[in-house]
C-alpha cells in the first residue's frame, strides 16, 4: 500500500501522555504500513473522553467513520472549543476563541485517518496502534481476550498487555463491553489515564459533522 497517513495523535486530543517534541499531523508512509491493521469503523463512532491524569483537562468529543471521516472537538474549561475536522483529503482546524478556520489539503495518494490514543517517539509502534473506535480490536489482535474483575467502582472486564516496560490496561463494561477507561504505565509510572464518559459505536452516519 502506497499511502500517506493523516495522524490525529494524542496531541490533537490534548492528552498529556504525548511526545510533544513531535507535533506533526501528517506523516509520510512507512515501510511497515502494509503490515498494519487499519482501524476503519463501518458505523459512525461517537466517544466523549477526558484525561484524568491532568488537572482541568478538557473534554474531548470524537466522531469517526471509516478511514476518511473524523472530528475531534476539544472543549476547554472556559467553554471555548477547538475542532479538528477531517474529510480526507481535506481537513480544517476551527478555533471558537479566535473565530479562525485553517484549511489543509493532503495532495498525497490515499491518505488514511488515524485517531491514536497515544503517539510520538516516546512510545513503541505497537502502542501507537491503539485507536479511538477500535480499542477492543487492538487487544484482540494482540491475543488478549480479557476477564471479569471486581474493583472499588464495581465489576469490569479487564484486558491487559505488558510489553517492553509498558502496560496498557483497558476496562470495559462487563455486559456491553463498551470501553470505560484506558490506563497506560511506563516502567510502573502512570503516564496516561483516559476516562470514557460516553461511548457509542453503532450510529448512523452524519456527514455534516465532517464539514466546518
What was the pLDDT predicted at 122? 83
Q: What is the pLDDT of residues 24-38, one digit of tens each?
A: 333 333 333 334 578
What was the pLDDT predicted at 152? 84
Q: What is the pLDDT of residues 106-150, one digit of tens each?
A: 887 777 888 988 877 788 989 989 999 999 999 999 999 889 998
| Cell (9 digits) for 16 | 498529556
Amino acid at each position: 500500500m502506497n499511502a500517506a497517513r493523516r495522524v490525529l495523535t494524542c496531541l490533537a486530543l490534548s492528552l498529556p501522555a504525548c511526545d510533544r517534541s513531535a507535533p506533526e499531523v501528517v506523516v509520510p508512509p512507512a515501510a511497515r504500513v502494509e503490515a498494519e491493521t487499519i482501524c476503519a469503523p463501518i458505523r459512525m463512532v461517537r466517544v466523549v473522553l477526558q484525561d484524568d491524569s491532568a488537572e482541568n483537562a478538557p473534554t474531548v468529543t470524537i466522531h469517526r467513520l471509516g478511514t476518511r471521516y473524523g472530528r475531534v472537538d476539544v472543549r476547554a474549561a472556559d467553554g471555548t472549543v477547538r475542532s479538528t475536522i477531517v474529510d480526507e483529503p481535506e481537513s480544517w482546524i476551527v478555533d471558537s476563541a479566535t473565530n479562525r478556520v485553517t484549511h489543509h489539503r493532503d495532495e498525497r495518494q490515499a491518505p488514511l485517518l488515524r485517531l491514536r490514543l497515544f503517539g510520538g517517539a516516546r512510545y513503541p509502534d505497537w502502542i501507537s496502534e491503539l485507536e479511538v473506535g477500535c480499542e477492543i480490536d487492538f487487544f484482540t489482535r494482540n491475543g488478549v481476550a480479557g476477564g471479569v474483575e471486581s474493583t472499588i467502582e464495581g465489576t469490569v472486564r479487564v484486558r491487559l498487555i505488558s510489553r517492553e516496560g509498558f502496560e496498557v490496561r483497558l476496562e470495559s463494561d462487563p455486559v456491553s463491553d463498551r470501553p470505560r477507561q484506558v490506563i497506560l504505565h511506563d516502567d510502573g509510572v502512570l503516564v496516561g489515564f483516559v476516562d470514557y464518559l460516553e461511548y457509542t459505536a453503532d450510529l448512523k452516519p452524519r456527514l455534516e459533522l465532517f464539514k466546518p
